[in-house]
Amino acid sequence: MSAVNYKLSVTQPELVQRLTFDEGHFSRQTFGDPDLQREIIQLFLGQVKDARNALSRPMTTTAWRFLTHTLKGAAASVGASRMAQMASEWELAGSPQDPALRDEILMAFEAEAKAFGEAVRPFCD
């Protein structure tokens, strides 16, 4: 399916089946090193904060795809499977110029970011 013909759908059933935080994946990626885990999560949470700010603003399709592609990769690497899937869907759709759709995307992102933050809290102590 080409990006031109792709239709964005913010809520998708397959997202429910993905994990907010795949702890096993994250542990394998970090070799179980608690200091490394803490550092990576803190860096990712900073990236999530930056993405939250960027997602709320209109931007070019190129900028949107760069942002969502970067978020997709970072989320996948830390085990934020659901967030990675959401970012992948948004990347394919291109930059939404409709403010209502951007608000809908931002609300979905914020809900997932909050769920991820709660799931990784034990790694940040």
Q: For 111-122, what is the mean pLDDT?
A: 96
Is residue 25 very low, low, confident or very high in pLDDT (cuts 50, 70, 90)? very high
Report the amino acid identity of residue 82: R
Cα–Cα dist 59/54, whole Å: 9
Reply yes or no on whether the pLDDT at 101 is more than 90. no
> How many CB atoms within 10 Å of residue 100?
8
| 68-99 confidence digits (pLDDT tens) | 999 999 999 999 999 999 999 999 887 788 88
Q: What is the pTM of this model?
A: 0.83
List the structure tokens of 23: 């702890």
Percent of the chain with pLDDT over 90: 66
